[in-house]
Chains A and B, each alone.
Chain A
Amino acid sequence: MIKIQVKNLTKIFGSKPDKAIQLLQEGGSKQQILQDTGLTVGVNQASFAVNTGEVFVIMGLSGSGKSTLVRLLNRLIEPTCGSIEIDGEDVAAMSKEQLREVRRKKLSMVFQRFALFPHRTVLENVEYGLEIQGLPKEERREKAKQALELVGLAGWESSMPDQLSGGMQQRVGLARALANNPDVLLMDEAFSALDPLIRKDMQDELLELQSSMQKTIIFITHDLDEALKIGDRIALMKDGKIVQIGTPEEVLTNPANEYVEKFVEDVDMSKVLNAEHVMKRPETITLDKGPRVALQLMRDSGVSSLYVVDKRKTLLGIVTAEAVSQAKAEGLTLQDVTETNVPTVRPDTRLHDLFDLIAFSALPLAVVNEGDRLLGVVVRGAVLGGLAGRVKVKQEQPSEQSLERVNLVG
């Protein structure tokens, strides 16, 4: 279900933007408009849709307009033109009162530098959103405490923000945003100011929270690793324009243009690709066949081992060429020479986690699902190919995305 539908959202800084809008619609670039009109294009006709419960990452280098874009969504910056529909209502066209109501009930924001109120205690900070809605003191205290508990800061209620570490301060920021129980969280480089270890913890925790809360999250970042880790989908921005939207795999493997390609070229593919992305079709044999058939099959397909499966493709074991030759010589059945101790991995295992297994195993890795059904095989060459970026990824289904997300948390 679509939660947020953004169409042609544009921000031009400076007065009299009409000419610049016209130029943009004619396809003019940011540089060209600056030259012709002296106006700065913040966001150039951005259009995208975010689904309910999705983590939508907007990524770009500094100056690409990503922070402006997120501020257009709750109109901290007034859009020049375009529409922002949240649950079908256009935020861009709302009156001040309607906008205030949306900000209070539906949208909460987490800031890069935390933006905690230094004169208020942790609890008073978290209470803020509820306080301005006029909730009775007891009720808002209760809700604020729950939000603090959710982010693991129970017991810190009466501390002042400057007594906390950066990571803890951002937890307060997150709790403050969650206390309102909004549908949508806007996170503007929320973890960028934290040091790398803390940042990783916070990412994990956000994903864990998200798996139970199912908020719609729009997450701004300049860090590709972060985007790949937490994003269900990623939008890449350059010069105020969205240049590509896709799942992390799509962005990595099918970069829309040179800019995206450059952006993603340094990515550690082993942390992005899964076993299923590099696996090959397995050569299999069933137990009712004899050693001769097995040898013939190996010769035909040019492999030195076959996976033994039953009719339902359940993995039973593996037979190697040597074992089959031995069976043929000694008159044994396939079952007698089947090696049942086969290294297996799941389809969603990261390439990164395959290295050890594949380095120390004489046999290729079998990719099986929860029911032990054989899906594919991973050989060393395919892993290397994956690292070199020679992989075509098929369109992912939403169900697989959520599967992957849960896996990341664990």
Chain B
Amino acid sequence: MDKLFPKLPLDQWVETLVRYLWKQAGGGFDLIKMLISGWVDFLAFLFMGLPDWAMILLFSLLAWLLSKRSVAIFTFIGLSLVSNLGYWVNTMQTLALVLTAALISIILGIPTGIMCARKKAVRDVVMPVLDFMQTMPAFVYLIPAIFFFGIGEVPGVIASVIFAMPPTIRLTNLGIRQVPVELVEAADSFGSTAAQKLLKVQLPLAKPTIMAGVNQCIMLSLSMVVIASMIGAKGLGADVYRAVTQIKIGKGFEAGLAIVILAIMLDRVTQHIGNHKKNKEERA
């Protein structure tokens, strides 16, 4: 059997492909790396621009504006605890990383989702790719990420994007396709252009579903921080990773708790943005 069907050299093919890509577009990868790391550093600098207490107040206020009071109170208490435990800098580092990954996922994911919803051919190509992205163990694509972007926060961001973008695409596609046929027909029957139909009818109606996708995307990015720390990304993941390798239960718990607080905070705020307009209308 072994001689009849020799092993396919799939591993070699992949390596050849990766090297080929790097050779052809090495400069492009450098540019992407520069942009992303610059942006993450900028965000981190922004978040640590003021003393802890001022930032905590600012974040709480922001949570109140975007969401509701209870979320603001949670944000205040949670971040105060994080600051008190001494994880402030790493938490902000992680926040910068997560928000960057989420932002890239949204910028790439929503238009892709829209294209999927409009054309079956696009959907047929994109959906298997998404399955691949979500189920391939994250460690595996850390390897080419290191190859292209070196170690540090950038491959972490890239790995997070690959892992977190699928729900954004899927839910954008779903949200648009779930808009009732009659409403789409109504938009068409009055002579809407494709863009008018999308902006005035489909996207507004798909918004809650798309926001659920954005929420999922942020949560998944956050779940990648520990893995990203293995290739040198700074932040809470690094604290957890260190605690694990040194078997420090207490430290591990503290760092883990900081991640949980960050997660709940981001989850509640983004969950609420989707319903925000509706609430405002009900009050009006």
- A residues contacting B by CB (< 8 A) are 71, 74, 76, 99-105, 107-109, 111-113, 115-119, 128-129, 131-133, 160, 176, 180, 186
In order of increasing CB-CB distance, the 6 nearest A-B pairs are: A104-B191, A103-B191, A115-B182, A115-B186, A129-B190, A109-B189
6 contacts between A and B (CB under 8 A): A74-B189, A76-B188, A111-B186, A132-B190, A132-B192, A160-B281
Chain B residue nearest in CB terms to A106: B191
Report the tally of A-B residue pairs with Cβ distances under 8 A: 60
Cβ of A117 to closest chain B Cβ, rounded Å? 6
B191 touches A101 (CB 8 A): yes
Quick check: B182 and A111 within 8 Å, CB to CB? yes
A113 nearest CB across to chain B (Å): 6
Q: Considering the complex, which residues of chain B in the window 157-205 have a beta carbon less than 8 Å from any beta carbon of chain A?
A: 180, 182-183, 185-193, 196, 200-201, 204-205
Contact of B189 among A101, A108, A112, A113 (CB under 8 A): A108
Bound complex: CA A331 to CA B151 (Å): 131
Contact A115/B180 with A128-B200, A132-B200, A160-B281 known, Cβ cut-off 8 Å: yes
Shortest distance between the CB of A97 and any CB in chain B (Å): 10
* In the complex, residue of chain B having the shortest beta-carbon distance to the beta carbon of A77: B185
Shortest Cβ gap from A102 to chain B (Å): 8
A117: chain B residues at CB < 8 Å are: 183, 186, 200-201, 205
Instruction: Contacts A129-B191, A186-B189 known; list 7 others, CB within 8 Å.
Output: A100-B193, A111-B182, A117-B183, A117-B201, A117-B205, A119-B205, A133-B191
A109–B191 CB distance below 8 A: no
Closest beta carbon of chain A to B30's beta carbon, Å = 44
Measured between C-beta atoms, what is the minimum distance from A67 to chain B in Å?
11
Q: Mark B255-284, 1 if CB is under 8 A from A, else 0.
A: 000000000000000000000000001000
Q: B185 touches which one: A115, A118, A131 (CB < 8 A)?
A: A115
Chain A residue with Cβ nearest B197:
A132
A59–B187 alpha-carbon span in the complex (Å): 25
Shortest Cβ distance from residue A302 to the other chain B in the assembled complex, whole angstroms: 62
Contact B190 A128 (CB under 8 A): yes
Judge whether B190 and A111 touch: CB under 8 Å: no
Specify which chain A residues have a CB less than 8 angstroms from the CB of B201 in the assembled complex.
117
A104 and B186 form a contact (CB under 8 A): no
**Residues of chain A within 8 A of B193, CB atoms compared:** 100, 132
A100 and B189 alpha carbons, distance in the complex (Å): 8
Cβ A111 vs Cβ B185 within 8 A: yes
Contact A118 B200 (CB under 8 A): no
Q: List, in ascending order, chain B residues with CB within 8 A of A102's CB.
A: 191
* Interchain CB contact under 8 A, B188 and A103: yes
A74 and B196 CA atoms in complex are apart in Å by 18
Find chain B residues with CB under 8 A from A132 CB.
Answer: 190-193, 196, 200
The answer on a CB contact under 8 Å between A104 and B190 is yes
Bound complex: CA A186 to CA B205 (Å): 25
Cα of A99 to Cα of B180 in the assembled complex, Å:
23
Interface centre among A74, A117, A118 (most CB of B within 10 A): A117
State A101–B190 Cα separation when bound (angstroms): 9
The complex places the Cα of A194 from the Cα of B40 at a distance, in Å, of: 57
